Structure 1
Amino acid sequence: MKATRLSIPEVVLIEPKVFGDARGFFFESFNQKAFNEATGTNHQFVQDNHSRSSRGVLRGLHYQIQQPQGKLVRVARGAVFDVAVDIRRSSPTFGQWVGVELSEDNQHQLWVPPGFAHGFVVLSESADFLYKTTDYYAPQHEHSIAWNDPSIGISWPALAQGQQPLLSAKDSAAPLLASLGADALFA
């Protein structure tokens, strides 16, 4: 496995070693020891999730203040542009984002640690998105930030100038980062 720290160093791009031939391919999609070494963490995962979305669907930017979740994300079918936003008030990279393309072709994974909001937009006709979490989903503690918050300035590659993504009602009503109180952000 190759691990690359991105411009926000706590977010790590993981490239598994893929063995392929005329029959197809094989790769180890998760190994706890290798993950801990690559990320310098000791997180344990408690939940696996799988979502399917069509082209132009944007999910996020989501996070939980209580029961914060670290997420190890990947795409089994299709392609997405995946984003992590630092929402730790005391961080030198507060309000900054990193994004990478994850696809069935590149088999890359992204480690999004607790303290970050997470979202993705689907680039392909559809995408199957898989992710492991370090804590359980707790809808009563879930928060969102507007996908198009100008203070964050995410460049979503699948969206043409002025094009709107397909959003859930919750994501359509998500507030701007600047309007969130201290109790809705990480210290």
Structure 2
Amino acid sequence: MEELKKNTRNKMQNSIDALKGNLSKIRTGRAHTGVLDHINVDYYGSQTALNQVAGVTLGDATTINIQPYEKTMIAVIEKAIRESDLGLNPATSGDLIRVPMPPLTEERRKDLIKVVKSEGENTKIAIRNVRRDANEALKKLTKEKEISEDDERRAQEEVQKMTDQFIVSVDQTIETKEKDLLVI
């Protein structure tokens, strides 16, 4: 039963981690190197993460600087960023690629908030599904007489408390991201 609770907690935590990963890709008005984390470039025939073929740093609050480890990678990196779904337009000066973050319009901010809320709702659904699976497993253990009905009820209450804690965590994460998006 302890293992069941531990697995349930881990799955719920994984849902929260996935939410945070997804939200980090939704850009605010500020530059953030994490925006480029999912970009892969063609490095001598194999797809390689951008941060493994170049140094990615912040130039200022609205610019990301990319310093390729090899000069031959400049054009490949530029192309990969342009073709990504981020809508960014890199500019090269010498052997440094600068990626300016365009300012967000009010309409775009509202669209991004809708996306953030949708991600949050999906995460809550995932957490509730984990709760349902845990409760079904507890019922099965009770049916097989491995645990008593009292133990099942107590465990279900614990799973519900866990679920409530993770839902609150999702709400806080969403609220924080919304505030970030509304800052001009």
TM-score range, shorter chain: under 0.3
More helix by share: 2
Task: Give the number of the structure whose alpha-carbon radius of gyration is greater.
Answer: 2
TM-score if structure 1 supplies the norm length? 0.21
More strand by share: 1
TM-score if structure 2 supplies the norm length? 0.21
